[in-house]
Structure 1
Amino acid sequence: MANQTFSTPAPVADILTETDAGYSLTVWNDDINTFDWVIETLVEVCAHSPEQAEQCSLLIHYKGKCIVKKGELHVVQPMCEAILDRHINATIDALV
Structure 2
Amino acid sequence: MSTDFDIAIEEEIQTGEDIGSESLRDLMVYNDDFNTFDHVINTLVKVCKHDVHQAEQCTFLIHYKGKCSVKKGMYEELKPMREGVTSAGIKASIV
- Where on the TM-score scale, by shorter chain, does this alignment land: which range? 0.7 to 0.9
Alignment partner, residue 23 of structure 1: 25
Q: Which has the higher helix share?
A: 2
CA-based RMSD: 1.8
Alignment partner, residue 8 of structure 1: none
Distance 1:69 1:16, change over 3 A: farther
Q: Distance in 1 between matches of 2:52 and 2:39?
A: 12
Distance 1:16 1:38, change over 3 A: farther
Q: TM-score, normalised by structure 1?
A: 0.77
- Report the secondary structure of 1:74's partner residue: helix
1:11-50 matches, cutoff 5 A: 18-21=19-22, 22-50=24-52
Q: CA deviation at 1:77?
A: 0.4
Runs of 4+ in 1 over 3 A off after TM superposition: 13-21
| Aligned length, in residue pairs | 83
1:1-96 matches, cutoff 5 A: 18-21=19-22, 22-93=24-95
- Report the secondary structure of 2:80's partner residue: helix
Q: CA deviation at 1:50?
A: 0.1
Identity of aligned residues (%): 49
Q: TM-score, normalised by structure 2?
A: 0.78
> Which structure 2 residue ranges, 5 or more long, are not aligned?
1-8
Distance 1:91 1:31, change over 3 A: same
